[in-house]
């Protein structure tokens, strides 16, 4: 850097620092970039949610006109899903997976950087519709032929942005899977991988196989809109239902892309703060794989009301089946708590919050699998409640659990616990206040995506409650932000292993050095660090551990994966 | 950031480099990555084929080019032969470098690249002669989308081949070190297989 | 001992039941008003009861664990390192299996009832378009609503009714909450078959409904109501309608040609007419959805023109000034300046 030497020292350092972050291929820095970028989009999409909830607080149009409202909920959904939840979990995956595997970096560090930088580009393209006569306003599902006919460049920017974000996910998925298969430390067999890594592996596989189909659909939509194509427009021979098939073929695996890493986070946090191993590790792994497989055979349950009832019982049945592995996971979490010694750190609170809230989302999901019930509540606020209990009560709670859990590893300092608990409780109460009433609203028949609603006392009360809850969630972010800033200024030093954890990321310094490990502990189980700190007492309780391990080692050496 | 992250760890770095370049036993890391990428491409073309079959199934009446247009099956057959042949020439190149014969690799890669470019030129000529466009009904839309995106992938392959050729000319490949050749050849075979699918679907199935 | 344990048993069984009761009290759909809706309602209650049992079981254990197993300060002894138990895994794989199979079985039975087809239903054509409905009766009236005057779908009570659900543009969904059902209106092109929806309303009354599939800017304006009436009243209703709108009376020295064109638009955004005398507007509808003509300031509105038809409106004389004309079905997409000059 010849030029920087001419600058004053501090400025030169700052410039080098910025350049370092912009050009980094270190998985840890990229992970942090992912997380920071995702939280910025989270706040933007959160503001849009407040805009939507403000408009819906009472009947009548107060702040917005209809089209602005439609843009707000479309952008809210798109940004939250594609630029917050998926990338933030990828970010934690980026940071944590190589560490948990005892690897020095991801398999393809440069591609890793590329897949990150496509994200802000795609996100800004999606948002930039606001600068060119209005953002996309067809909902995050962008059903044809509404999306064919929608005017303005906003929808085209939405398509291009989403295709970029999808490409980023695909590249990221290739990287994750390759890393997991090729970069594991000696002794780290597949069945000794932390559950978080397993969930990332299944998630990446879903991304790899589902996202390209969405890309194909987006391209078809773009051709329809700009080159006179007739994929989806019935007036020129197209088939609008085809869009729904393509979208949901991607869209339902997408739900598990969003939730599985969250389950992984919870499965890391619960054992550590229960001071016990995860109950039924292998059952949990198989349940995760089962969910991944089933997720490709349920997409049409989003389309029960479209009439073509031919395969409806099949899709209903497959959807109900997903309840089984999910139930197994739920029981395994409870089994982990059973006779443990629970420590209620903020991370643990968010993990417990995940279990109790995701349960509700899971139950309402099974209810929606029943076609006659779906006929009533499909496209009403019941579905909005359901998806928020899964995405928000599930994934977002897990994101915060992960943040409180891994922050010390990333920055060497622990987040403040009292502030964290304030954050959790306001968040938890606000969340339920915002979304539980929506179940009832949906059952009463309020459709989703309406800018204005009938002036009925029951609807008004429930909507008002929901709006208050939404603002409570927004308020809960304040102690979180204060916490992060205060911790950077004057946080409690964390040490290598502040939680007495199980997995390899805690076996190195906080933050870890470039290439992560100076030396690795021996890996004989899915809890190498626990093994290291508690030694043979642990091994004696699980006598099969070593023999089983050596067998798998032999298999591993042969390259069987 | 604390000072810890700023420190260099020479020993760790060396090991890291080794791990990144060589991975563990079994298939090279780059090949795993390429295979996974191809898996995603299979799903992408799966989506496009799904639109084709859906359009064909839901269209009432004659399925085929709109009035005034036609398909040139003879030309498409020649193009198929060219692309299939290029898969063989590519493989001859791979076999050559596995034996350490860098000279043959250059020759076969050059021939493959030429065949790839010939295919693209032939397809563009075909487009100019068909007499219908992407906006001419459902058939036009799915026809141009499928063949067009396949063509884009052939183009991507020729870029990869150009890089391989350039590196081969600089003598960068040997019997031990030629993973890029293997990866590009795998991609090229994939593109070839997709074309066989496209050709059979559009021209043979009708 | 005996009374106390009985009390405990009562509490043990009663408390969950009470909770179920409380929970169900606030998660109940509206009173079902069709025959099939009653079956759906009962299915829902069954599912809700199952859901409540799962919910209380899991959340109950969670709460129990949180209080029972919290780590005491200073307790550094590790708990037993329990890795799992295959028997329990099998059992708790079976529990959700039984639940979902039960749910699936009952759902399929109810689905059969919901989808049952009658022999000779009263058939009504329902056209959905951005952003209103038209209800068309064979040999009867055709009713198109507006945002301020939502359409009413008259149906005979106690008889099977079949709706043929046509979309003129994008996807819509016909939804009446008290019927516990909705079905989408999908544009199917020339050769497709539109969706149908059958129901038998069990009680006379007016039931509100609205479009449930997001269909663009004014999706929320697509409200309607269903009026279930006796057969006699229904026959009377059919007989009363059906006549085409009366051609407009009156003489105009000025006739403005106005056309509605594709994708919800007038062909011009300004028209000029003389002050102080009636004028005519001949509206030709070349769009795929119905339109009409109105003047904002004088609140003049006329009949609705169906696609492919045209109609002449006789607009009462207005004073000179600047006005706004519109299509009252599409009040923001289709507006223009009406200049009245001396």
Check C115 against A309: CB less than 8 A apart. Answer: yes
| Cβ pair A238, B138 in contact under 8 A | yes
| Cβ pair A206, A176 in contact under 8 A | no
Residues 6+ apart with CB under 8 A from B17: none
Q: Which one of A447, A452, A545 would you mutate to disrupt binding with C, by most C Cβ within 10 Å of its Cβ?
A: A447
pLDDT at C211 over 60: yes
Does B5 contact A at CB distance below 8 Å? Answer: yes
Give the closest of A209, A220, A558 to B39, CB-based.
A209
Check A104 against B12: CB less than 8 A apart. Answer: yes
Residues 6+ apart with CB under 8 A from A449: A70, A73, A139, A379, C214, C219
CA-based nearest residue to C220, from C185, C175, C178: C175
Check C51 against A440: CB less than 8 A apart. Answer: no
pLDDT value for A300? 87
For A473-526, what is each residue's pLDDT tens digit?
Answer: 999 999 999 999 999 998 899 888 899 889 999 999 989 998 898 888 888 888
| Cβ pair C327, C314 in contact under 8 A | no
Give me the mean pLDDT over the A196-201 stretch: 96
Q: Which residues numbered 21-40 in B keep a CB inside 8 Å of some CB on A?
A: 23-26, 29, 32-33, 36-37, 39-40
DSSP string computed for B27-64: S-HHHHHHHHHHHHHHHHHHHHHHHHHHHHHH--S--S
pLDDT at A279 over 80: yes
Query: Cα(A484)–Cα(A486) distance, rounded to whole angstroms?
Result: 6
Give me the mean pLDDT over the B113-120 stretch: 96
Give the closest of A317, A378, A452 to C220, CB-based.
A452
Q: Which two tokens stand for residue C283?
A: 């509206």
Give me the mean pLDDT over the A230-241 stretch: 88
Give the closest of C69, C81, C89 to A337, CB-based.
C69
CA distance to partner chain A, nearest, from residue C100 (Å): 6
Give the confidence band of C3 by pLDDT, cuts at 50, 70, 90.
low
CA distance to partner chain A, nearest, from residue B75 (Å): 25
Q: Which two tokens stand for residue B82?
A: 């060219």
Q: How many CB pairs under 8 A join A and B?
A: 162
Query: Cα(A541)–Cα(B200) distance, rounded to whole angstroms?
Result: 61
pLDDT value for C12? 63
Neighbours of chain C (3+ CB pairs under 8 A): A
Give me the mean pLDDT over the A216-224 stretch: 94
Q: How many residues does chain C have?
A: 342
Does C145 contact A at CB distance below 8 Å? Answer: no
CA distance to partner chain B, nearest, from residue A190 (Å): 14
Q: What is the mean pLDDT of chain A?
A: 89
pLDDT value for A551? 43
Give the confidence band of A98 by pLDDT, cuts at 50, 70, 90.
very high
pLDDT value for C139? 79
CA-based nearest residue to A443, from C28, B134, C247: C28
pLDDT value for A10? 61
**Angle between the B73-99 and B102-129 helix axes, to the nearest 10 degrees?**
170
pLDDT value for A522? 84
Neighbours of chain A (3+ CB pairs under 8 A): B, C
Give the confidence band of B27 by pLDDT, cuts at 50, 70, 90.
confident
Check B1 against A511: CB less than 8 A apart. Answer: yes
Rg (C-alpha) for chain C, rounded Å, is: 30
Neighbours of chain B (3+ CB pairs under 8 A): A
| Cβ pair A546, B44 in contact under 8 A | no
Does B145 contact A at CB distance below 8 Å? Answer: yes
Check A328 against C92: CB less than 8 A apart. Answer: yes
Q: How many CB pairs under 8 A join A and C?
A: 274
Check A108 against B33: CB less than 8 A apart. Answer: yes
Check A313 against C81: CB less than 8 A apart. Answer: no
> Which residues of chain A have a CB within 8 Å of the CB of C61?
334
> Which residues of chain A have a CB within 8 Å of the CB of B50?
213, 216, 242, 245-246
pLDDT above 90 as % of chain A? 73
pLDDT at B1 over 80: no
Give the closest of C170, C189, C211 to A146, CB-based.
C170
pLDDT at B19 over 70: no
Give the closest of A137, A234, A373 to C44, CB-based.
A373
Compute the C-alpha angle C148/C149/C152, nearest 5°.
Answer: 145
CA distance to partner chain C, nearest, from residue A419 (Å): 21
Query: Cα(A360)–Cα(A394) distance, rounded to whole angstroms?
Result: 10
Query: Cα(B204)–Cα(B195) distance, rounded to whole angstroms?
Result: 12
> Which residues of chain A have a CB within 8 Å of the CB of B9?
513-515, 518
For B75-106, what is each residue's pLDDT tens digit?
Answer: 999 999 999 999 999 999 999 999 989 899 99
Give me the mean pLDDT over the C108-128 stretch: 90
What CA dihedral angle connects C70, C75, C78 and C80, to 10 degrees? -50
Check C186 against A240: CB less than 8 A apart. Answer: yes
Does pTM top 0.80 for this prediction? Answer: yes
For A460-470, what is each residue's pLDDT tens digit?
Answer: 999 999 999 99
pLDDT value for C11? 62
Check B9 against A230: CB less than 8 A apart. Answer: no
CA distance to partner chain B, nearest, from residue A292 (Å): 16
Give the confidence band of A378 by pLDDT, cuts at 50, 70, 90.
very high
Check A182 against B32: CB less than 8 A apart. Answer: yes
| Cβ pair C277, C285 in contact under 8 A | no
For C212-270, what is each residue's pLDDT tens digit?
Answer: 999 988 899 899 999 999 999 898 888 887 444 555 566 677 888 888 887 788 888 88
pLDDT value for A523? 86
pLDDT above 90 as % of chain C? 34
Q: Higher model confidence: residue C76 or residue A441?
A: A441
**Angle between the A27-56 and A109-127 helix axes, to the nearest 10 degrees?**
20
| Cβ pair C129, C167 in contact under 8 A | yes
Q: Which one of A191, A428, A445, A451 would you mutate to disrupt binding with C, by most C Cβ within 10 Å of its Cβ?
A: A445
Compute the C-alpha angle A273/A279/A284, nearest 5°.
Answer: 115
Q: What is the mean pLDDT of chain C?
A: 85
pLDDT value for A310? 64
Check C84 against A66: CB less than 8 A apart. Answer: no
Q: Higher model confidence: residue A538 or residue A188?
A: A188
| Cβ pair C322, C335 in contact under 8 A | no
Residues 6+ apart with CB under 8 A from C150: C223, C224, C225
Give the confidence band of A550 by pLDDT, cuts at 50, 70, 90.
very low
For C40-92, what is each residue's pLDDT tens digit?
Answer: 999 999 999 899 999 999 999 999 999 899 888 888 888 888 888 888 888 88
Q: Higher model confidence: residue C50 or residue C1?
A: C50
pLDDT value for A535? 63
Rounded to two decimals, the ipTM of the complex is: 0.88
Please name the residue that has the structure tokens 């397809």. Answer: B123
């Amino acid at each position: 850097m010849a030029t920087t030497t001419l600058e004053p020292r501090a400025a030169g350092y700052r410039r080098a620092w910025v350049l370092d972050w912009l050009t980094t291929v270190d998985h840890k820095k990229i992970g942090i970039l992912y997380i920071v970028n995702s939280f910025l989009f989270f706040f933007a999409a959160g503001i849009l949610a407040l805009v939507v909830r403000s408009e819906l607080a009472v009947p009548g149009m107060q702040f917005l006109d209809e089209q602005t409202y439609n843009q707000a909920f479309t952008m809210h959904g798109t940004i939250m899903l594609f630029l917050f939840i998926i990338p933030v979990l990828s970010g934690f995956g980026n940071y944590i997976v190589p560490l948990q595997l005892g690897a020095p970096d991801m398999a393809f560090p440069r591609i890793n950087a590329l897949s990150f930088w496509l994200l802000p580009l795609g996100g800004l393209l999606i948002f930039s519709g606001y600068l060119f006569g209005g953002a996309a306003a067809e909902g995050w599902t962008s059903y044809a032929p509404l999306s064919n006919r929608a005017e303005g460049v906003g929808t085209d920017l939405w398509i291009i942005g989403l295709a970029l974000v999808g490409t980023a996910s695909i590249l990221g998925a290739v990287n994750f899977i390759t890393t997991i298969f090729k970069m594991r430390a000696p002794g780290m067999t597949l069945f000794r991988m932390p559950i978080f890594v397993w969930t990332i592996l299944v998630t990446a596989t879903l991304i790899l196989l589902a996202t390209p189909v969405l890309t194909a659909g987006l391209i078809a939509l773009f051709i329809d809109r700009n080159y006179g194509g007739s994929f989806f427009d019935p007036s020129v021979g197209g088939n609008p239902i085809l869009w729904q098939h393509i979208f949901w073929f991607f869209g339902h695996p997408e739900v598990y892309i969003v939730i599985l890493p969250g389950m992984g986070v919870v499965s890391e946090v619960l054992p550590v703060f229960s001071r016990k191993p995860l109950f039924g590790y292998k059952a949990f792994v198989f349940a995760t794989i089962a969910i991944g497989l089933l997720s490709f055979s349920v997409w049409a349950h989003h389309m029960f009301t479209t009439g073509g009832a031919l395969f409806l019982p099949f899709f209903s049945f497959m959807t109900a089946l997903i309840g089984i592995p999910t139930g197994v996971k739920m029981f395994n979490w409870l089994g982990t708590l059973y006779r443990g010694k629970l420590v209620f750190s903020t991370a643990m609170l968010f993990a417990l919050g995940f279990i109790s809230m995701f349960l509700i989302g899971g139950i309402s999901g099974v209810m929606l699998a029943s076609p006659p019930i779906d006929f009533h509540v499909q496209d009403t606020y019941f579905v909005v409640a359901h998806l928020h209990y899964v995405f928000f009560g599930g994934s977002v709670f897990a994101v915060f659990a992960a943040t409180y859990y891994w922050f010390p590893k990333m920055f060497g300092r622990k987040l403040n616990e009292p502030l964290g608990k304030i954050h959790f409780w306001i968040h938890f109460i606000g969340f339920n206040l915002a979304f539980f009433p929506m179940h009832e609203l949906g059952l009463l028949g309020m459709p989703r995506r309406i800018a204005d609603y009938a002036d009925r006392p029951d609807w008004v009360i429930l909507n008002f409650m929901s709006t208050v809850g939404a603002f409570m969630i927004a308020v809960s972010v304040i102690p979180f932000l204060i916490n992060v800033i205060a911790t950077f200024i004057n946080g409690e030093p964390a040490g290598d292993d502040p939680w007495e954890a199980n997995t390899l990321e805690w076996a190195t310094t906080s933050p870890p050095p470039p290439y992560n490990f100076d030396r690795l502990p021996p890996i004989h189980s899915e809890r190498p660090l626990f093994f290291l700190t508690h030694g043979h007492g642990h091994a004696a309780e699980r006598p099969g551990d070593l023999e089983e391990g050596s067998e798998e080692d032999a298999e591993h050496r042969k390259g069987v994966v | 950031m604390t000072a810890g992250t700023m420190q260099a760890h020479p020993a760790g770095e060396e090991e890291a480099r080794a791990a990144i370049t060589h991975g563990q036993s079994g298939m090279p890391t780059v090949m795993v990555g390429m295979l996974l990428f191809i898996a995603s491409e299979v799903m992408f073309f799966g989506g496009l084929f799904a639109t084709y079959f859906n359009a064909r199934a839901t269209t009432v009446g004659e399925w085929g080019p709109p009035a005034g247009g036609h398909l040139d099956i003879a030309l498409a057959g020649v193009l198929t032969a060219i692309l299939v042949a290029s898969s063989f020439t590519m493989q001859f190149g791979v076999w050559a470098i596995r034996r350490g014969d860098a000279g043959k690799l250059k020759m076969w890669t050059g021939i493959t690249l030429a065949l790839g470019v010939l295919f693209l030129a032939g397809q563009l000529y075909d487009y100019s002669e068909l007499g219908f466009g992407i906006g001419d009904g459902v058939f036009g839309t799915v026809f141009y989308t499928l063949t067009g995106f396949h063509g884009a992938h052939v183009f991507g392959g020729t870029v990869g081949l150009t890089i391989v050729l350039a590196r081969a000319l600089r003598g960068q490949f040997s019997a031990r070190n030629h993973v890029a050749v293997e990866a590009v050849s795998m991609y090229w075979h994939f593109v070839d297989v997709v074309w066989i699918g496209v050709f059979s679907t559009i021209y043979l199935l009708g | 001992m005996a009374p106390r344990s009985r009390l405990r048993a009562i509490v043990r069984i009663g408390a969950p039941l009470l909770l179920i009761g409380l929970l169900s009290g606030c998660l109940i759909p509206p009173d079902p008003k069709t025959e099939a809706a009653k079956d759906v309602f009962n299915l829902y209650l069954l599912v809700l009861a199952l859901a409540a049992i799962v919910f209380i079981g899991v959340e109950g254990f969670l709460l129990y664990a949180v209080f029972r197993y919290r780590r005491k300060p200073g307790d550094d002894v590790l708990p037993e390192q329990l890795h799992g138990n295959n028997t329990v895994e099998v059992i708790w794989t079976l529990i959700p299996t039984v639940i979902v199979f039960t749910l699936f079985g009952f759902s399929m039975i109810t689905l059969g009832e919901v989808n049952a087809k009658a022999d000779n239903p009263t058939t009504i054509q329902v056209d959905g378009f951005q952003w209103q409905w038209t209800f068309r009766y064979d040999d009867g009236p055709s009713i198109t609503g507006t945002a301020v005057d939502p359409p009413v779908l008259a149906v005979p009570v106690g008889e099977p009714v079949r709706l043929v659900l046509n979309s003129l543009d994008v996807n819509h969904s016909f939804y009446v909450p008290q019927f516990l059902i909705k079905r989408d209106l999908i544009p199917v092109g020339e050769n497709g078959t539109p969706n149908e929806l059958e129901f038998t309303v069990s009680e006379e009354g007016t039931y509100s409904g609205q479009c449930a599939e997001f269909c663009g800017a004014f999706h929320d304006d697509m409200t309607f109501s269903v009026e279930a009436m006796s057969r006699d009243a229904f026959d009377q209703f059919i007989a009363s309608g059906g006549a085409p709108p009366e051609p407009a009376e009156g003489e105009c020295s000025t006739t403005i040609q106005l056309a509605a064109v594709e994708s919800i638009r007038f062909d011009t955004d300004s028209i000029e007419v003389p002050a102080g005398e009636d004028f005519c507007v001949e509206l030709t509808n070349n769009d795929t959805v119905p339109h009409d003509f109105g003047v904002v300031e004088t609140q003049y509105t006329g009949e609705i023109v169906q696609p492919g038809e045209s109609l002449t409106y006789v607009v009462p004389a207005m004073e000179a000034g600047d006005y706004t004309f519109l299509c009252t079905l599409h009040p923001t997409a289709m507006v223009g300046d009406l200049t009245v000059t001396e």
